[in-house]
Amino acid sequence: MCGMRVLMIDAPQAMLDERRRLGQDKRDEMWDGVLHMVPPAGGPHQRLGARFLAAVTPRAEQHGLVPHYETGLFQSDDNYRVPDLSFAREEHLSDRGLEGADLVVEVRSARDETYEKLAFYAQMGVQEVLVLHPNPRKVELYRNVAGRMVPVQPGAGVFSEVLGVSLQVEEDELVLSWDGASARI
């Protein structure tokens, strides 16, 4: 699991209730009934995610997508993941979060489980997964091909078909471009 130390514990319900009451469970995930407690993201992670969301939200909305930050993507109540960003159509919205998405964005943190989530995203019908790396700046794109997330070879950059946006790294900045417009983050 990406060098992550996995510790299996039977967490007392009182502890889980207290985490929920304090709002410490917002990023927790359930993987086939197994709770994954995800620590809060650090500053570079949050800044990159927020800047990416601000840059692409108008573009996503032009494509009929609703942007979300840290919203659960649910297969069931005991099987869901919480991508950093997601872009979904109205029909995928529900009271508990999302029941599907066209694009999810994972911003990498040390020892996170980004790559272990790819199979789940493919199973949920997600069309694309963008993986953004804060330091050094890097972008990866995975596309759903026959129910499997396949890496798109970057070359000089990648192109998100879902957003209609080109992404490439120049001088440690992520450069987004579309229809004559661009943003650097």
pLDDT (tens digit, 9 = 90+) per residue, 3-22? Answer: 344 445 566 777 767 777 77
pLDDT score recorded for residue 111: 81
pLDDT score recorded for residue 24: 61
pLDDT score recorded for residue 135: 92
Among candidate residues 46, 9, 30, 19, the one with its CA nearest the CA of residue 135: 46
Examine the pLDDT at 2 and tell me if it is beyond 70. no
pLDDT score recorded for residue 149: 98
The mean pLDDT value for 34-51 works out to 84
pLDDT score recorded for residue 10: 65
Q: Hey, how many other C-beta atoms are within 10 angstroms of the C-beta on 96? A: 11
Q: Which of 16-25, 38-47, 74-83, 88-97 is least confident? A: 16-25
Mean of all residue pLDDT scores within the chain: 89
Please give the model's pTM, rounded to 2 decimal places.
Answer: 0.86
Q: Which fold has domain 13-184?
A: tt1808, chain A (3.90.1570)
The Cα–Cα gap between 25 and 17 comes to 9
